[in-house]
Amino acid sequence: MKLVSYAYRGRVSIGKLVGAQVIDLPSSDRQLPATMLELLQGGAALMDRARAVASETAVTVPLADVRLLAPVPNPSKFLAIGMNYAKHVKESIDLGFKMPEAQVWFNKQVSCINGPFDPVHIPFVSEQLDYEVELCVVIGKRCRHVKAEDARSVIAGYMVTNDFTVRDWQLRSPTMTIGKSFNTTGPIGPWLVTDDEIADPHALPMRLIVNGEVRQQDTTGSMVANAFQQIEHLSAAFTLEPGDLIATGTPSGVAIAMKPPVWLKVGDVVRAEIDQLGFIENRIVAEPT
């Protein structure tokens, strides 16, 4: 399934995408919840119920008429790994970063979450706005101490994310959290593609395009620690909850590595795309007063 959160005529709901139509899940089956987090928390039983909703009897809305929202707008965690693609590790070392001895993790505060096609702000306090296309894993089951070989059993699905980063604020702190968490800098979507739709999440071509120019291009198979190994590492430390988001790293080609750096500016259009998952596209705007 492709699951969406959306707004239509002043109402916010969740649905599944079938062709060019969005099936409104709670309107089509009153046993289904109105939010994505509740659907994920309901586990396999609710997901199977959502799959069973048939187009012929469902309440539908044309996709062209809805505003797609962040599929999971209120997770308990938004976690992200740094320096996890081989070529990105090299360009980071060239910039003065140290070679990581283990997986490097930071939080993106959930207040940064943004819609897949909503504008992203250049903040008042910086001009160093950068981009990072990433595969986003969505956890579907409360879990702890998950082995890598069992990790798919706790994954609800996958999305595209762009880990927009305010670089000077990132570099001021070893935790990186503030520079990774400015408002609007965590767009996700355009929909949640359930795990059963993806044969191999580590074989997906991905790219990042600014104003029509390809800046990043790689496949998810180039991860140093793959998504399953990331889940094993994280769940050894703490419980992962349904709806938690894991941004799995970005390939080379970020703006800070260009000579000189080419920061995003007002008016730029940034498109992050991953084959089989779709794309998100955000226009860069000045932070509103």
Check if the beta carbon of residue 156 is closer than 8 Å to that of residue 140.
Answer: yes
- Of 125, 127, 116, the C-alpha closest to 184 is 116
Both 240 and 99 in one domain: the answer is: yes
The pLDDT of residue 99 is above 90 = no
- Of 89, 81, 112, 102, the C-alpha closest to 247 is 81
Read off the pLDDT of residues 11-41 as tens digits, 9 standing for 90 and up. Answer: 999 999 999 999 999 999 999 999 999 999 9
Averaged pLDDT for residues 102-106: 95
Per DSSP, the three-state class of 183 is: coil
* CA distance to 59, 68, 129, 138, 176, per residue, from 182 (Å): 37, 21, 10, 21, 11
Read off the pLDDT of residues 39-94 as tens digits, 9 standing for 90 and up. Answer: 999 999 999 999 999 989 999 999 999 999 999 999 999 999 999 999 998 888 88
Q: What is the pLDDT of residue 105?
A: 96
The pLDDT of residue 175 is above 90 = no
Per DSSP, the three-state class of 149 is: helix
Q: What is the pLDDT of residue 71?
A: 98
Both 38 and 104 in one domain: the answer is: no
- Of 81, 79, 80, 89, the C-alpha closest to 251 is 89
Q: What is the pLDDT of residue 174?
A: 84
Task: CATH number of the domain at 279, please.
Answer: 3.90.850.10
Provide the pLDDT confidence category of residue 246 given band limits of 50, 70 and 90: very high
Both 83 and 65 in one domain: the answer is: no
Averaged pLDDT for residues 167-177: 91
Q: What is the pLDDT of residue 132?
A: 98
Provide the pLDDT confidence category of residue 100 given band limits of 50, 70 and 90: confident
Q: What is the pLDDT of residue 98?
A: 80
Q: Of 52, 69, 86, at which residue does a domain stop?
A: 69
Q: Of 69, 88, 117, at which residue does a domain stop?
A: 69
- In the numeric block, which tokens belong to residue 221? 């198979």
Domain of 23 in residue numbering reads as 2-69
Provide the pLDDT confidence category of residue 101 given band limits of 50, 70 and 90: confident
Average pLDDT for the chain: 96
φ/ψ of 3, rounded to 5, equals: -100, 135
Q: Of 48, 69, 90, at which residue does a domain stop?
A: 69
Both 59 and 130 in one domain: the answer is: no
What pTM was estimated for this model as a whole?
A: 0.96
Both 57 and 91 in one domain: the answer is: no
- Of 227, 228, 241, the C-alpha closest to 140 is 241
Both 98 and 27 in one domain: the answer is: no
Both 147 and 62 in one domain: the answer is: no
φ/ψ of 234, rounded to 5, equals: -65, -45
Question: CB-based burial of residue 233 (10 Å sphere; 0-12 exposed, 13-18 middle, 19+ buried)?
Answer: middle
Q: What is the pLDDT of residue 262?
A: 97
| 170-227-92 Cα angle (round to 5) | 35
Check if the beta carbon of residue 115 is closer than 8 Å to that of residue 69.
Answer: yes
Both 87 and 44 in one domain: the answer is: no
d(CA 193, CA 166): 29
Both 48 and 119 in one domain: the answer is: no
- Of 225, 253, 214, the C-alpha closest to 88 is 253
Q: What is the pLDDT of residue 89?
A: 85
Q: What is the pLDDT of residue 222?
A: 97
Both 219 and 123 in one domain: the answer is: yes
Both 163 and 266 in one domain: the answer is: yes
Q: What is the pLDDT of residue 229?
A: 98
Of 96 and 261, more confident: 261
Contacts 24+ apart (CB under 8 A), 212-217: 215/131, 215/253, 215/254, 215/255, 216/131, 216/132, 216/133, 216/250, 216/251, 216/252, 216/253, 216/254, 217/251, 217/253
Read off the pLDDT of residues 110-127 as tens digits, 9 standing for 90 and up. Answer: 999 999 999 999 999 999
